[in-house]
Every structure is written in C-alpha cells, then in structure tokens.
Amino acid sequence: MQVVFLGTSSATPTPRRFLPAAVLARQGELFLFDCGEGTQIRFRKSRLKFTRLTWILISHMHGDHVTGLLGLLMSLQMAERQEPLRIVGPAGLQDYVLMNKRLLRTDFTFPLEFTEVAGEGALVYDGPEYVIEAGLLQHRVPCYGYAVAEKDRPGVFDLAAAAALGVPVGPLFGQLQQGRSVTLDDGQVVRPEQVLGPPRPGMRVAYVSDTRPCRNALVLARGADLLIHEATFAGELADEARAKRHCTATEAAEIARQAGAKRLVLTHFSPRYLDLEPLRAEAATTFEPVECAHDLFEVEL
C-alpha cells in the first residue's frame, strides 16, 4: 500500500497547498479520498495514473472537498475510460454530479456507480480482499470518514513442508496458497494448514477529516496502520476549532492514541500556517510517530 497526498490545505488553496485530496494505492487500484479543486493537476504531478481510479470517497459537500470532482471526471472522459467508477459520499453527491453533467453538457463513456451514505454510517463495500467502512463525523454538515481495511491474508507458504508432503512445484502451490485443499496423484489430500503459516492480518488505512473528536473517528481509526486525520488548527486556537467543528493537532493525536493507531499523518491545515513543524511537535507530545503531510507527500505501508 501507498498513500499520496494531492492536497493538504483547508478552505482555500495556497501557492504551496492545494485543497484536500489523498490517494491510497493498493495492488493496482486507486482510492481517492476527497477531491478538492485542482486534484487532477496534482494527480498529473504525482507518479499515479488517475485512469486506475476505482473508488472516489467524498467526506462531505463543502466546496473545498468536492469542487475538483467534475474536472477529474471530464479528464477521465477525455482519456476514454470505459471501466465503472464507484463514487461514495453523503446525500446530495449524486445530484451534484448529475446536475453539473447536464449543465456542462458533457457525458461520460464510463458508468458512474453512486453510493450515498446515511445515518451513522455503513459498511460501504465487502469484497473478497478488503472492506470499506464509513462513519458519521461531527461537522457543520453531514460528513463521513472512511476506512479501507484488508481482510486477513493467508500465511507464508512453507516450501519445505510442501516438498516433504510430496506436493510438486506448479499450480498446486497456488491452490494451497489460496486456501484450497489439493489431491495428489497418489490420492493423498494436502490441506492448506499443513503448508501455510498463521494468517497475516491485513492493513487498515483510516481517513478522518473535518470533525470534532467523536466516537466514530475512534471506530474508524481503531488499530489503523495509518490514520490520516485533519489538524486544521494549533492548540492555541482550540476555541476556533470548536466553533468551526474542526480538530487541533493535539486532538488528532489523542484520537490516534486512544484508537491504538500505528502511525499518524496530519493534513487539512489552515492556510495561516506556513511552517507546520509546530503542529507536528504539538501532536508529538501525545502520540508518535506523527508527520505533517505536504502536497505530493508519499507514505509507504
């Protein structure tokens, strides 16, 4: 897994920071969290190919998180994309896209598959390799955080054990690694547990933006290998953070600590902050390791 931050500002872009967007790359699939103005420009400056987008996960309908969506979709149209694109977000997202599609007199060569999340959240997707969870956060409008969580993977394949049981090198190895029993030429049945180590836990990446500290932020972040969390304000502006329904760097770090996250990356910074080190240092008094993202910052998992 890899995460690339395409935009790390809040409310308005700056000469150094575009509006919120982050991409999770997993085995050829791309998951885009939010799509602020200029996202497609940052995409072109990254090493990612937006034609590989599978999911777009929008947190809420404030402009700084969604105004780049139509431009990105039109660029995918120009690239002659054919594969379906799944778009997830709060109520109103589908109307927003389809109304702009009509007013801009554009069309798409690829199907758009919308999922609008309601209430406290939902299991958005449950597939063979991973799930996508959504949870309602505490902002001024309905806002959802997301977690992409891999399911447990098979254990490490024991070549020596397979050879001792008489399994020939070839396709049977793959079947055992996929968790299926195989029958040898002599009739012997070899079960996966005989040649595989214990299951390996999958990775979990959580994205929590535009919120006050809340229960669902903790649920999404629980045990995350990477927690991406907003830190719009430093602690000295805690009153403003409460009034505008955002978090300080310390509050983001406290969520990571309570949730048992393994790593924290802060994003969604007020444009007033040119130097982000004070926010990182503030968070580090509560949780480590912690980093401040910048545009095109990459995290390997």
| Tens-place pLDDT, residues 9-48 | 999 999 999 999 999 999 999 999 999 999 999 999 998 9
pLDDT score of 153:
82
Cis peptide before 289 (omega within 30 of 0): yes
Band the pLDDT of 195: cuts 50, 70, 90. very high
Spell out the residues 6+ positions from residue 155 whose beta carbon is closer than 8 angstroms to its own. 196, 197, 198, 199, 200
Distance between CA 262 and CA 234 in Å, rounded? 22
Collapsed DSSP state (helix, strand, coil) of residue 291: strand
Given this model, what pLDDT does residue 178 score?
A: 81
Question: CA-CA distance, 23 to 143, in Å (whole number)?
Answer: 19
Q: Which of 98-112, 186-200, 230-244 reaches the highest mean pLDDT? A: 230-244
Residue 55 and residue 117: Cα distance in Å, rounded?
Answer: 14
Domains of the chain, each with CATH number or no CATH: 2-150+204-300 (3.60.15.10), 159-194 (no CATH)
Query: How far, in Å, are 6, 157, 258 from residue 222 at the CA level?
Result: 25, 29, 8
The answer to whether the CB of 271 falls within 8 A of the CB of 10 is yes
At residue 206, the pLDDT reads: 98
Q: Do the beta carbons of residue 83 and residue 109 sit within 8 Å?
A: no
CA distance 64 to 34: 9
pLDDT band at 109 (very low <50, low <70, confident <90, very high): confident
Whether residue 121 has pLDDT greater than 90? no
Helix H or strand E segment including 60: none
Whether 148 has a pLDDT exceeding 90, the answer reads yes
Measured distance CA(16)–CA(250) in Å, rounded: 24
Q: What percentage of the chain carries pLDDT values higher than 90?
A: 89
More confident residue, 301 or 199: 301
pLDDT band at 179 (very low <50, low <70, confident <90, very high): confident
The pTM for the full model equals: 0.90
Percent over 70 (pLDDT), the chain:
100
Each residue of 216-269: pLDDT tens digit?
A: 999 999 999 999 999 999 999 999 999 999 999 999 999 999 999 999 999 999
Average pLDDT of the segment spanning 268-294: 98
Torsion of CA 62, 91, 78, 207, to 10 degrees: 60
pLDDT at 18: 98
What element of type H or E holds 31? strand 29-33
Q: 134: helix, coil or strand? A: strand
The residues annotated with a catalytic role in the active site are: 64
Supply the pLDDT for residue 200.
84
Model confidence at 129, pLDDT cuts 50, 70, 90, reads very high
Q: 235 and 196 in contact (C-beta within 8 Å)?
A: no
Tell me the C-alpha to C-alpha distance, in Å, between residue 175 and each of 73, 154, 158, 182. 39, 11, 14, 7
